[in-house]
Structure 1
Amino acid sequence: MPDLLPFLTSLAWPFALAIAWIAGEFGQRWTGLPRISFYGLVGFALAGPQLGVLPLPDGGAVPMLADVAFGLILFELGYRINLRWLKSNPWIGVSGLVESLTTFIAVYLIALAFGTPQLTALMLASLSMATSPATVVRVINEQRSSGQVTERVLHLTAQNCVLAVFAFNVVVAFWIFRTFEDLGDAIWNSLVLLAVSLLTGAVFGLAVPALLRAIGNPRQDPTVAFALAVILLVAISYAGGLSPVVSTLAFGLVARHRRVAFSQAQRGFGALGELLTVLLFVFAASTLDWEKVAAGSLLAVVIVLARLVTKTAGVAAFAHLSGISWRKGALSGVALAPLSVFVILLLEHARLAGVHLVEQLQSVAAVTMMLEVFGPIIIQRALMWAREAPETNAQTRPETNHAA
């Protein structure tokens, strides 16, 4: 009997992943909603503070595997970013900057109005700037979406991630300086680590394409090579205290402009990507506590609505200048609503780095849970309303989603 508990604990995550996958398949088939919404619901229900099936995700292999899953998605996002397009159409970048800064200011003022301490409000505002690339890329792949709104959402998501990571690290540096009065440590944990993360990802972006060319078979499926490189890059980021978000995004961005044809690879990294995506969304939701979700629910609703308004208005305001209609500009802004996975992993890294201020962010838990479920639905509907993801695509099984 004493050996039974460790045995059952060791089976918790495999069973949770199986249940989440089954729920996603049947849930998508019956409702037409994205599978990842059901993954999140299962992860939240089975979490330690709820049903207590899953152990607390405190270190170990599962958080690192979640980072690997997120890294694969960020690499794919970075690979789909066209810097030349942004250079020829700078109003896209301007719209992203405006909507991010407007969101930061709006959420900061709302948090202060709810009596949130200034430092916590700054951290909440910086996190709210982001759009979750995991949700965006997953839904776009599942829907097989393409078009002006799709491309803008991908580019704006990448920009939002970089701005949010930068702002979040500045706030963390401020917290470190105010707590420990150590300016050197504050600068190291903000700008220096981000710069090193960017450089590390860029080095991978140069080295891996060079290796693939040296192999001498450009038509060979590079899925395994890119996946192994992402796993190695995430491991290096973990060991060196770097940002896997910035490094993997930079890896994909630089690799694209080294002209290695990712189109030969499986979109979403095939079966490996599918499995790790289930783990990622189950893990993200399993970090949430229903008591914190309930405690921060009112502020969360206001923040979600504020983000929706600022991001929609910020992108729509520059729609005509960037070459699209007001309607498509507004839908591009609406599609930036997802937030959950990005925030959870960023907070987990901050907590592991000793920034215990995150325990005060109850409203983050509520915002995260709301957008874990509704974020994928919002972007799915936005893409459908833009006529870039026909409703028939909602029934397309993900294993058919290979790049042309």
Structure 2
Amino acid sequence: MPDIQAILADLGWPLAIAVAWLTGEFVHRWTRLPRISVYGLIGFLLAQAFPEALSSGASSNVTILANLAFGLILFEFGYRINLHWLRINPWIAVSGLAESAATFGVVYLIAHLTGMPPLTSLLLASLAMSTSPAGVLRVINEEDSSGQVTERVLHLVAINSVIALFVFKVVVGFWVFQTSGSLTQAVSHSGIELLVSAAMGAVMGFIVPPVLRRLGALARDGTIAFALGVILLVAASRAFDVSPVLATLTFGLTARHKRVAFSRTERNFGGIGELLTVLLFVFAVSTLEWERVVDGAGLAAVLLLARFVVKAVSVGAFAHVSGITWRKGLLTGIALSPMSVFVTLLLEQTKYMGIVLVDELAALAAMTLLLEVVGPVITQRALHWADETPKEAK
């Protein structure tokens, strides 16, 4: 007689992905809610019902696949970023820096006033700065959104994610080096790590396009080559213990500015990319525990409200000087709501150093779940209100 527990362990993730995908398709067709919100909700419920079947360690195959899925999305995200646009209109970059700094300051202040230790407050504030590139890009692709708000959201997400990544690495580095109490050592270690990550991505971005041109296979094999590049970068990042986030983002950014056409017919890297995306959004909440979510719900609600208001007001304040209306500026800030996937994978990477930060941040668990489900919906509505989706265009 086969062991039921062993069968569930083998079939847990495939079944969870299948259930999440089917539910996402049906709910999206009935309600037009973003599919990724449904993936997250189903993933969380299944993880609470069958925790053993959906377990995943820092070195498990599921974690590796989730990092690969995030890498593919980050490549495509980086490909959408136009640095020339930021040079022409520097106020967009200024607004990104302002909203990141304001979010960090407000979240740190609230966390500190509630009695959190300084390092824990700094970690929470650094993560709260970020907006998930995966959540935003998936909603934009699903809604086929385009326009001023859409493009500004993409660029602001890139800015606050890179800043959040750097500050998070510095704080974690200081946590590791706190026996010596050397902030300089933490900053230099984190800076070197991020520079190495960016250099790896840039090198890949310079190598792949000429190879494709040489082969004369840009249109036919471009998607495969870029996917292989992402796989190599994620593997190399794990091997050298650097950030795959910045490496894959820089890869996409470099490929764009090498004037390589990325076929829209293979958006999201085709069917395999879609499948990995389902896994990614289920994985993002599978590590959360219901008790921890409940414990942190009160503080999470306050922090999320503060984060939402600060991002909307900060971006809206620079609306006129950057060339758009106050309304579109506020909608741009509102669209920066998703956060969960970026946070989950950053926390998973810290486990390699023996640091389990989720246990320190009950509020972060509640924030992750709420923004996994609600964040994409807010982004979707903001894009609709901005009249940048075909369904709502006038």
The TM-score range, normalised by the shorter chain, is over 0.9
Report the alpha carbon displacement of residue 376 of structure 1 after superposing the two structures with TM: 0.7
**Is 1:205–2:205 an aligned residue pair?**
yes
| Stretch deviating more after TM superposition (346-355 or 158-167) | 346-355
Report the alpha carbon displacement of residue 28 of structure 1 after superposing the two structures with TM: 0.7
Match of 1:389 in 2: 389
CA distance in 1, matches of 2:198, 2:265: 24
Check 1:135–1:383 CA distance in 2 against 1; reply closer, same or farther (3 A cut). same
| Stretch deviating more after TM superposition (134-143 or 257-266) | 257-266
CA distance in 2, matches of 1:368, 1:38: 14
Check 1:358–1:179 CA distance in 2 against 1; reply closer, same or farther (3 A cut). farther
1:143-158 aligned within 5 A: 143-158=143-158
Match of 1:79 in 2: 79
Q: Deviations over 1:309-345 (max 9, x none)?
A: 1111111111111111110000000000110100010
CA distance in 2, matches of 1:264, 1:296: 41
Amino acid at match of 2:379: I
Classify the secondary structure of the residue corresponding to 1:262. coil
Classify the secondary structure of the residue corresponding to 1:178. coil
Structure 2: 5+ residue runs without aligned partners? Answer: none
Report the alpha carbon displacement of residue 220 of structure 1 after superposing the two structures with TM: 2.4
Is the 2:10–2:53 Cα contact (8 Å) retained in structure 1? Answer: no
CA distance in 1, matches of 2:135, 2:236: 25
User: Percent identical across equivalent pairs?
Assistant: 59
Amino acid at match of 1:55: L
Is the 2:17–2:278 Cα contact (8 Å) retained in structure 1? Answer: yes
CA distance in 1, matches of 2:181, 2:50: 42
Return the TM-score normalized by structure 1. 0.93
Report the alpha carbon displacement of residue 176 of structure 1 after superposing the two structures with TM: 1.3
Match of 1:98 in 2: 98
Match of 2:67 in 1: 67
Amino acid at match of 1:57: S
CA distance in 2, matches of 1:97, 1:361: 25
Amino acid at match of 2:176: I
Is the 2:358–2:365 Cα contact (8 Å) retained in structure 1? Answer: no
CA distance in 2, matches of 1:301, 1:357: 20
Report the alpha carbon displacement of residue 373 of structure 1 after superposing the two structures with TM: 0.4
Q: What value does the CA root-mean-square deviation take over the aligned residues?
A: 1.7
Report the alpha carbon displacement of residue 6 of structure 1 after superposing the two structures with TM: 2.0
Report the alpha carbon displacement of residue 184 of structure 1 after superposing the two structures with TM: 8.9
CA distance in 2, matches of 1:193, 1:157: 21
Match of 2:55 in 1: 56
CA distance in 2, matches of 1:105, 1:299: 16
Q: Deviations over 1:68-92 (max 9, x none)?
A: 1100110011001000000000000
Classify the secondary structure of the residue corresponding to 2:24. helix
Report the alpha carbon displacement of residue 3 of structure 1 after superposing the two structures with TM: 4.2
Is the 2:43–2:286 Cα contact (8 Å) retained in structure 1? Answer: yes
Report the alpha carbon displacement of residue 191 of structure 1 after superposing the two structures with TM: 1.4
Match of 1:398 in 2: none
Match of 1:350 in 2: 350
CA distance in 1, matches of 2:157, 2:347: 18
Match of 2:377 in 1: 377
Is the 2:171–2:186 Cα contact (8 Å) retained in structure 1? Answer: no
Check 1:340–1:151 CA distance in 2 against 1; reply closer, same or farther (3 A cut). same
Match of 2:42 in 1: 42
Report the alpha carbon displacement of residue 285 of structure 1 after superposing the two structures with TM: 1.1
Classify the secondary structure of the residue corresponding to 1:338. coil
Amino acid at match of 1:63: T
How many residue pairs are counted as aligned between the two chains?
392
Q: Deviations over 1:122-166 (max 9, x none)?
A: 000000000000100000000000000000000111111100000
CA distance in 2, matches of 1:183, 1:103: 22
Structure 1: 5+ residue runs without aligned partners? Answer: 394-404
**Is 1:336–2:336 an aligned residue pair?**
yes
**Is 1:176–2:173 an aligned residue pair?**
no
Return the TM-score normalized by structure 2. 0.96
Match of 1:400 in 2: none
Is the 1:91–1:318 Cα contact (8 Å) retained in structure 2? Answer: yes
Check 1:184–1:87 CA distance in 2 against 1; reply closer, same or farther (3 A cut). closer
Is the 1:222–1:265 Cα contact (8 Å) retained in structure 2? Answer: no
Amino acid at match of 1:242: V
